[in-house]
Amino acid sequence: MTQEDDPNMANDPKNHDSLRFSTLAVHAGVEPDPVYGAIMTPIYQTSTYVQPDIGQPLKAEYDYSRVENPTREALERSLAILEGGRYGMTFASGMAAIDTLMRLVEPGDHIVCGNDVYGGTYRLFAKILTRYGLKFDYVDTTNLDQLASAVTDKTRLVWLETPSNPLLKMTDIAAAAEIAHRHGAWLGVDNTFATPALQRPLSLGADIVMHSTTKYLGGHSDVVGGALVVNSQEIFDELRFLRKSIGAVPGPMDCFLTLRGIKTLALRLQTHCANATRLAEALAAHPLIEAIYYPGLPDHPNHHLVASQMGGRGGGMLSFIPRGGQAAAATIARATRVFSLAESLGGVESLIEIPAAMTHMSVADSLLAVDPGLVRLSVGIEDGDDLLADLTQALEKAAVGELATVG
């Protein structure tokens, strides 16, 4: 199959290999509309396509929008180019992407998963897919010896998040890929937290990259979506067949909004990272904070990987545990005014949440259970002074409660 035959292959007439990321984010995968010259990708809001004759669509695969849609294809080309991959495929949500991917494995196959992952991922693996004969082990993927011990010749997939959710653990992707490939397994990486603006797992040996495009790629908390990017035509062909058969596709407006968000990804990530670093440094020095998790801090146990695989930037997510535990965490989460109490992440606005009671409720009573006193921040692009002032006043209220408890 050639690039001309396959609209989803990362095929761009611009020489994208010579362009830097911020330029790619604006231009990759999209071209002016050939009919009217519109610079923005048209929204092909159609469910079906007229055929000149029976079983003869105007263009191959364009018989029904569950199969192909031009707006969706533009997004898929963009994502593939940004991740340095050959093929991109988008889905109705990040979980739809993971669920479709997991249909590449068969009953009896073994999957090794990181022991710090999004609660929805764990719920899918442990509470749904195990019913169909898939076997999962959860290990600390930052410990390469532990990872190597868990992977066997029956392992089909190693799945990891780096940075992980919600403890911001970092895994050496190249080393994990070598371990997986030694046993004939694929390495899949959820790159949602880092985005291709900071990290490109395929270039480090990963076989599959996944995104919740709802988060930083869309970037404005107004769309839900997911994506997979691969280099293998065999994997892509099977995924495309699965998506066509299952139907977990995003609508054209969702794809348009995500494409629009991607254009400012590089700029947004600069501010996300700068604000998160500033807050992490302030929290690390605050007397109320017992533990902080941010890979951009020098004392983070995996900090060296920030330089080697994330371009020296720690990302826009951080978590911490305040002195006073669950009660103090709740006080802080309820007291912020610029940070909004909400699930999700990666939007322009700053969010605060308590993972144990919100995004990670499904891991309660498991080996992946989250400390109820953990607070997770998605640091937005507001003014850094305002974010720091907001968090400081919330911490002060928690400190008053802590003193009252002691008294």
Element (H, E) at 125: helix 119-127
Which of 14, 66, 103, 135 does the annotation list as catalytic? 66
Nearest alpha carbon to residue 200 among 8, 21, 27, 15: 21
Q: CA–CA separation, 25 vs 75, rounded Å?
A: 11
Contacts of 336 (CB under 8 A, 6+ apart): 352, 390, 391, 394
126 φ, ψ to 5°?
A: -80, -30
CA distances from 238 to 12, 101, 233 (A): 23, 9, 9
Is 118 a residue of the active site? yes
CA distances from 305 to 155, 161, 163, 165, 302 (A): 26, 14, 10, 16, 6
Is 215 a residue of the active site? yes
Q: CA–CA separation, 391 vs 353, rounded Å?
A: 13
Residue 9's Cβ-side half-sphere holds a number of Cα atoms within 13 Å equal to: 12
CB 168 within 8 A of CB 280: no
Nearest alpha carbon to residue 157 among 207, 213, 93: 207
Which of 44, 87, 118, 138 does the annotation list as catalytic? 118
Measured from the Cβ of residue 247, the count of other Cβ atoms closer than 10 Å reads 12
195 Ramachandran zone, left/alpha/beta (phi>0; psi -120 to 50):
left
CB 156 within 8 A of CB 113: no
DSSP code per residue over 128-169: TGGGGT-EEEEE-TTSHHHHHHH--TTEEEEEEESS-TTT--
Which of 215, 240, 268, 376 does the annotation list as catalytic? 215
Is 390 a residue of the active site? no
291 φ, ψ to 5°?
A: -150, 145
Is 116 a residue of the active site? no
Which of 12, 99, 116, 190 does the annotation list as catalytic? 190
Contacts of 234 (CB under 8 A, 6+ apart): none
37 Ramachandran zone, left/alpha/beta (phi>0; psi -120 to 50):
left
Q: Catalytic amino acids?
A: 66, 118, 190, 215
